[in-house]
Amino acid sequence: MLKIDSHQHFWVFDPVRDSWINDEMEVIRRDFLPQDLKPLLDSNGFDGCIAVQADQSEKETDFLLHLASQNSFIKGVVGWIDLCAENIDERLDYYSQFSLLKGFRHILQAEPVDFVLKPEFKRGLNALKSYGYTYDILVFPQHLPNILKLISDQAFVIDHLAKPDIKNGVFSPWDKNLKDIASFQNVYCKFSGMVTEANLKNWKKEDIYPYMDKVLELFGPERLMFGSDWPVCKLAAEYSMVCKLVDEYIAKLTHSEQELIWGKNASTFYKLD
């Protein structure tokens, strides 16, 4: 069975750039590099991973591409580019030479909800399509109504279930808004980032499964993919625990459906070699 971790991060810790990693997140206030991840992938049966941006700079994109060029288990990169830039086509043309670059992401969860409606952002997002790039949507539930206005006929994936408030058991209006977005067949969703939206120190699978139920209902196994969100997941769970959470949940599905979630969907979506 092909197994791809569709969502993880690397960084060389910088206290200024990575100021979002506060004192309460001490467990991830250090470097996380390919040599740290490879043993985890191997011990959990993974064939490779997708490295996703954590910093909003082209320097970050270049850093991830360099790591991918040096480590064959990094099958693709989701980088960052200034989608609002006037020279967006020039920058995309430049990056088109890197076959390991599969798509882009902006940390929309940190932006006002109407940021995505800016004409220049929408123009940049639309420019990705002609280059065959995917777009990872990182938002909170309150962003979803405007995200719906963005969806067009290109490849989108929702990161971390759009971060529902699992800790407090809140579903509405997250579930309704996600249903509207899931009605577009070109939008996928990642089983990722769930343990960190639950009670960090005291989560249990029964808290998370109802949200996984909803996402499985909306997207089906054909549009879901596993992502560890390592090393951020370490705030709540070790790598193997995140894998176990999903493994036990999807055990009720057919073998072919499990294959889709573990790797085939990520391979299709990100056009992995």
pLDDT of amino acid 87: 97
The model's pLDDT over 36-64, given as tens digits with 9 standing for 90+, comes to 999 999 999 999 999 999 999 999 999 99
- Mean pLDDT (whole number) for 179-185: 98
pLDDT of amino acid 273: 77
pLDDT of amino acid 24: 87
Question: Is the predicted pLDDT of residue 238 greater than 90, yes or no?
Answer: yes
Angle at 73 between CA 70 and CA 74, to 5 degrees: 70
> Position of tokens 């989108």?
156
Residues forming beta bridges with residue 19, ordered by sequence position: none
Question: Is the predicted pLDDT of residue 262 greater than 80, yes or no?
Answer: yes
The model's pLDDT over 146-168, given as tens digits with 9 standing for 90+, comes to 999 999 999 999 999 999 999 99
To the question of domain 4-269 being in CATH 3.20.20.140, the answer is: yes
CA distance 53 to 83: 14
The model's pLDDT over 9-40, given as tens digits with 9 standing for 90+, comes to 999 999 999 999 998 899 999 999 999 999 99
Residue 66's contacts (CB-CB under 8 Å, 6 or more residues apart) are none
Task: Note the pTM of the prediction, 2 decimals.
Answer: 0.97
The model's pLDDT over 94-104, given as tens digits with 9 standing for 90+, comes to 999 999 999 99
- For residues 216 and 180, the answer to whether their CB atoms sit within 8 Å is no
CA distance 102 to 79: 8
pLDDT of amino acid 39: 98
**Distance from first CA to last CA of the chain, Å, rounded?**
16
Instruction: List the domain boundaries for the chain.
Output: 4-269
Question: Is the predicted pLDDT of residue 5 greater than 80, yes or no?
Answer: yes
Residues forming beta bridges with residue 4, ordered by sequence position: 48
- For residues 9 and 232, the answer to whether their CB atoms sit within 8 Å is yes
What's the count of helices (H) and strands (E) in the chain, helices before strands? 10, 8
Dmax of the chain from CA atoms? 49
Residue type, 189: C
Distances (CA, A) of 99 to 20, 26, 164, 227: 31, 35, 33, 21
- Mean pLDDT (whole number) for 220-224: 98
- Mean pLDDT (whole number) for 95-118: 97
Q: Copy the structure tokens of residue 79.
A: 């980088």
Task: Pinpoint the alpha helices (H) of 220-259.
Answer: 239-250, 255-259
